[in-house]
Amino acid sequence: MSTALSPRSERFFLLTLAGIQFSHVLDFMIMMPLGPILMAAFGIGTHEFGLLVASYSFSAAVSGILAATFVDLFERKRLLLISFALFALATLACGLAPGYSSLMLARGLAGVFGGIMGALIHTMIGDAIPFSRRARASGIVSSAFSISTIAGVPLSLWLANHLGWRAPFVLIAAFSVFFLIVGLRFLPELRHHLSEEKRAHLLSATFSVLGDANHLRALLFSALIIFSGFTVIPYITVYAVNNVGIDQHDVPIVYLFGGFATFISARLIGHWADKYGKVEVYRRVALLATLPLLVLTHAGVWPLWAWLICSTSFFVLTSGRMIPAMAIIASSAQPKLRGTFMSLNGTVQSLAMGLATTLAGFLISLDGSGKIVGYPLVGYVAVAANLLAIWFVSRIVMHGRHE
């Protein structure tokens, strides 16, 4: 059963989750536009940069497996805020890292706690928001992606260009402390999932989740969506600067336009998904996403305005399909196992993210002039995974209608 919240409490609940998600998303997203700066600072290529991005994802995958053994045993608010505090410390450690290896270690620690947070946020939406409004709620929380691209990424890049690559991580740690205080004030306690019934053993809930065929279908669907996006996303900025001819100082404009557009579209897509059907809206948005995905990975030297049209369309549609998709995924879980399921889903998504980033890093390379070679092939791989997810979504049963 969903926890009943008053309209005002629900609004503060979702906005607070969006704020926490903002810190978490910005911490992950900032690595992509920092690519050219970090590659120059450490003297590394696309392979090493791909591993630096993937270290966060693989650590999040491991933490998701561990979290699945205990996440449904604790009250949601307390577990989220403890994970958030540790995440803030790990992000600060990124800003203080003296070199490439220590930065990779700090990124791994941030991934450990970020993975738990990501799963808990969507679990709490499923616990507290009725099915009929769940896609809209996901849209509000997903607006954190938009706000991070509108304000967070450009500000972080401005700081990086003027104060060095460490400054953005210190800024994100400061944001995290602020939203931690807000979370203490506005998040309700969620303990309805707690049961008097004792578990047979530590992994019993995990086995229960993995023993359900519908859960497995939802997890595969989740992996396909993430894989199709993160073969392309980590290298967009490097490709834009090295191949398309976008000036490094114009990169914040790209994220400003993309973020502003997704801020508007996320709310609309969430509303449409609740009104017209989550599966139908997902299919249409995901199908439309294939066009900018192909164009973006095949672009030559373009003026800034043409790149803005393509990259903004990519941001809107690639992130937009996640709104109905996450509502579908969260609603496929049995309510009493939702925390465990979403932790495992976080693991699956993180593994897909890490594998996609690593695979793309090996499919592409830098030629003698510094241009990326092999990006079109990455685009074809992403389209294939996206089309497979579109075909697969109808096989998932959503239990949430009856909560």
Tokens of 32: 């992509």
CA distance 137 to 130: 9
Computed over every residue of the chain, the mean pLDDT equals 83
pLDDT band at 194 (very low <50, low <70, confident <90, very high): low
CA distance 334 to 199: 16
Average confidence (pLDDT) over 31-57 = 83
Contacts of 126 (CB under 8 A, 6+ apart): 2, 134, 330, 331, 333, 335, 338, 342, 400
Q: pLDDT at position 9, please?
A: 76
Q: pLDDT at position 129, please?
A: 76
| Residue 141 half-sphere exposure toward CB, CA atoms < 13 A | 29
Contacts of 327 (CB under 8 A, 6+ apart): 134, 135, 138, 273, 278
CA distance 298 to 314: 13
Per-residue pLDDT tens over the stretch 250-297: 888 888 888 888 878 887 888 888 888 888 999 999 999 999 999 999
Q: pLDDT at position 193, please?
A: 55
Q: Can you list the domains of the chain with their CATH numbers?
A: 7-186+202-402 (1.20.1250.20)
Strand partners of residue 372: 366
CA distance 313 to 293: 9
Contacts of 334 (CB under 8 A, 6+ apart): 212, 215, 341, 399
Indicate if the pLDDT at residue 400 is higher than 70.
no
Per-residue pLDDT tens over the stretch 296-341: 999 989 999 999 999 999 989 998 898 899 888 878 877 777 777 8
Indicate if the pLDDT at residue 346 is higher than 80.
no
Q: How far is CA 17 from the centre of its chain?
A: 14
Indicate if the pLDDT at residue 197 is higher than 60.
no
Strand partners of residue 373: 365
pTM of the full predicted structure? 0.73
Query: Which DSSP state fits 198?
Result: P
β-strands 372-373, 365-366 pairing: antiparallel
CA distance 174 to 179: 9
Strand partners of residue 366: 372
